[in-house]
Chain A
């Protein structure tokens, strides 16, 4: 049976209203999107939804208390909290540069958690 789902694209701030028709794991149609990001988002969202997780980790010996981090790619949506648990166990020493890998392969997702701020050593 073909199912229909209306989505709001989160690929960019436009927030396109997308309609996806799918049967099981097979996508029948994607309409309403204005770009490729929307198409990709909609196809994933109805079958295997994914998100980027952003948070902070504790820092020692730096000019800031916290270093902001992100998953360098999307992780499965249902692993967000598992990923947060791992991020919250981490404390890193300064210095840190944007892009430094903080947690490799977080929760076995194949995705690294990387720093999004520069922290200087003091």
Chain B
């Protein structure tokens, strides 16, 4: 039913949040003119618009901004550069040959031929349906991000007496936000033996307001047929199953869920992008390119970030690479040397990127990763094939905080036969890491160091 002639742009960016905006600006600065951002919301800025708390931009702007202010810095550049964007526009499909099908109310359905595509769709919250919480399905159960939107954008209070399941940053931020608006946050229950949020958010969102954080706890019952009346939580054992007899009942009218973010990759998968089962995002190389030449990914659609600054940085790289791709017609790396594989093992869950073509890499390449457990006084080690080349001690590493190592191009070029770079966590024999699999006691002690259990012990951000 194609009525319009197909439009054509050098770069089409799917998503007008922090990643899409930074990618667009970088691509324009790299000399590509015809760029189009497609955004499904009614304004640019993405999730930052509802993240009204401060703490954004310390790396990028050397000052502490709120989410809307951080977004505005990028939005103003997009305006000044005259980069085109369409709001209220939903991308329906991206084909393997980079034809983007989208629709909105004014234009109907339309197709765009893209020289390059940048995937910047972000992520979404894990919903209740994915959690297997028993009990009824009354009103009053919200994902933390939904509650954040209601309070900060729409101006509604979702409830007065609140229990929060999950200690992801949005949950911690909302514990403080609801408290400031007059609600009582009775408890934050976290299934894992460590918080999923940033340490500073534990301090300034929970400790500051004497909100208890119960690690290794989960919700075992929700009471109320029309509206939530009470929530029962219980301690979980090593097997993550509730321990009978440890139940505690909290009367409340609201349950917020901050139980993880999942990259939104239906479009990516639809066009044949290879996905990493760990991050639920695409595999990318050193220029943020997926397995499909000319299709790039950045931001939370690639892997969920704690810090928007890193999103902007990564997205900038994707934007520059996409510009180079459309200007040269390809990103063909040298055929003389196969890409180097990055392997995550020994406590490292994944790496971004996952392959490196040395001829295309910058002098310094930041490799980001997450660990799978809480480690204290352990080492981040980098191996070039079997040779250990980096061994850096870290006071504490936790799954809630993204880690990074830096690779030097010249070091890689010194090893023309280098096949695999392995990143792993190594521990001294003396200091045992406290793993997520060990018992609850050991785990909460690990969190004391991270500030989680400091009396009544956040992570701000995305």
Identify the A interface with B (CB < 8 A). 6-13, 15, 17, 51-56, 58, 64-66, 68, 70, 77, 80-81, 84, 88, 98, 116-118
Contact = CB atoms under 8 A, between A and B. Distances in A.
B64 to A, nearest CB: 7
B155 A56 contact: yes
B52 A77 contact: no
Contact of A116 (B66, B208, B395, B401): B66
Contacts of A17: 395-396, 449, 451
A81 B154 CA distance: 22
Contacts of B204: 10, 51
B180 A68 contact: no
B422 interface: no
Contacts of B154: 65-66
A39 to B, nearest CB: 16
Contact of B459 (A13, A116, A118): A13
13 contacts: A6-B454, A8-B202, A10-B203, A10-B458, A13-B401, A15-B199, A15-B450, A52-B54, A55-B52, A84-B180, A98-B69, A116-B52, A117-B69
B200 A56 contact: no
B58 A12 contact: yes
Contacts of B54: 52, 54, 70
Given A13-B307, A13-B459, 17 more contacts: A8-B199, A8-B202, A8-B203, A11-B200, A13-B55, A13-B461, A15-B199, A15-B450, A17-B396, A17-B449, A17-B451, A51-B208, A54-B54, A54-B66, A55-B52, A55-B181, A118-B72
Contacts of B306: 13
Contacts of B395: 17
Nearest to B199: A15
Contacts of B269: none
B180 A80 contact: yes
A77 B66 contact: no
A54 B173 CA distance: 11
B200 A64 contact: no
A68 B68 contact: yes
Contacts of A118: 72
Nearest to A64: B153
B63 to A, nearest CB: 11
A53 B282 CA distance: 38
Contact of A13 (B152, B198, B449): B198
Interface residues of B, number: 39
A66 B460 contact: no
Nearest to A69: B52
Nearest to B53: A54
B68 A116 contact: yes
A70 B58 contact: no
Nearest to B203: A8
A107 B151 CA distance: 24
Contact of A66 (B65, B66, B155, B458): B155
Nearest to A117: B68
Given A17-B449, A51-B204, A98-B69, A65 B153 contact: yes
Nearest to A71: B54
B133 to A, nearest CB: 30
Contacts of B69: 98, 116-117
A55 B396 CA distance: 32
Given A10-B200, A15-B450, A66-B154, A54 B52 contact: yes
Interface in B438-462: 449-451, 454, 458-461
A119 B39 CA distance: 19
B200 A58 contact: no
B203 A68 contact: no
Nearest to A37: B58
Interface in B165-186: 180-181
B160 to A, nearest CB: 15
Contacts of B68: 68, 98, 116-117
Contact of B200 (A8, A77, A80): A8
A82 B332 CA distance: 61
Contact of B52 (A6, A7, A68): A68
Given A8-B454, A54-B53, A77-B208, A68 B200 contact: no
Contacts of A13: 55, 58, 198, 200, 306-307, 401, 459-461
A11 B155 CA distance: 28
Contacts of B396: 17
Contacts of A58: 155
A98 B69 CA distance: 7
Interface string B66-86: 101100100000000000000
B180 A53 contact: yes
